[in-house]
Amino acid sequence: MTKTEIRRIKQAERDSLDSSLHKEWSEALANNVAQTFEYLYCETLHVYLSFRSEPDTSILIQKAWNDGKNVVVPTINTATKQMIHVHYLQGDELQPDAFGVPTPVNLNQVSVSELRNGKTMVIVPLLAFNEDFFRLGYGKGYYDEFLRGTGLATFGYGFSFQYTDALYPESHDVPLDNIITEQGIARRKRS
C-alpha cells in the first residue's frame, strides 16, 4: 500500500468517526498527555491547532493555559515554505492559513533554539503511525524537518485506529519518541 493510499484510508476513517466519540476520545487524549512526566515538567507546550477531523487539541491547549504553560503553535511561512513557531495566547484571534489550518493573526515568533533551551513538549499530528513510532502526516515534510536533531520530547497525537502495519519509513522520516492515543501512551525504547 502506498503512502497516498494510507492517507486516503486513514483520513476517511477519521472523517467517519461519530462526533460524540470524537469529543470523548479527544478529551481522553488530553487527559493522557496531562498525566505524563513530560507535561507535568514542561514550561512550553508546542501543539498544533487542529482542523478537519483531527483530534480536538483545543481541550489540551485550554488545559495547558489553565496549568500556566506557554503554548506555541506551528504555522507555515508560505513564502519560505518553512515551519515557524508562534506564541498562542488565550484570546488570540485566529484565521485560516493557506492550508485551512487555524493560525494566530499575531505571529509572535519563537526560534527553535528557544524551544530547545526551554522545557518543551512537542505534540505532533498524524494521519497514521506504525509500531516503530514513524508517523504519516500530510506529506509536506514540515515536521520531519523541524524534528530532525532538535532533541525535543515528541508525542504523536491521534486515535488508536490510525495505527497501520502498512507504513514503511523512508530515509528522511523521523521517528517519534511517544505515541498518545485515547487508550494510553506508548514509549519508544531507545538503544
Short-list 124, 138, 128, 127, CA closest to 164: 128
How far apart (Å, rounded) are the C-alpha atoms in residues 149 and 168? 21
Question: What mean pLDDT is predicted for residues 81-103?
Answer: 92
- Model pLDDT, residue 191: 60
Cell of 10: 486513514
How far apart (Å, rounded) are the C-alpha atoms in residues 5 and 11? 10
How far apart (Å, rounded) are the C-alpha atoms in residues 142 and 126? 12
Neighbouring residues of 39: CB distance < 8 A, sequence distance ≥ 6: 33, 45, 121
| CATH code where residue 94 lies | 3.40.50.10420
**In total, how many domains does the chain have?**
1
Structural domain boundaries enclosing 119: 3-187
- Model pLDDT, residue 183: 98
The model's pLDDT over 46-83, given as tens digits with 9 standing for 90+, comes to 999 999 999 999 999 999 999 999 999 999 988 888 89
Q: What global pTM score does this model have?
A: 0.94
The model's pLDDT over 119-146, given as tens digits with 9 standing for 90+, comes to 999 999 999 999 999 999 988 889 988 9
Radius of gyration over alpha carbons of the chain, in Å?
16
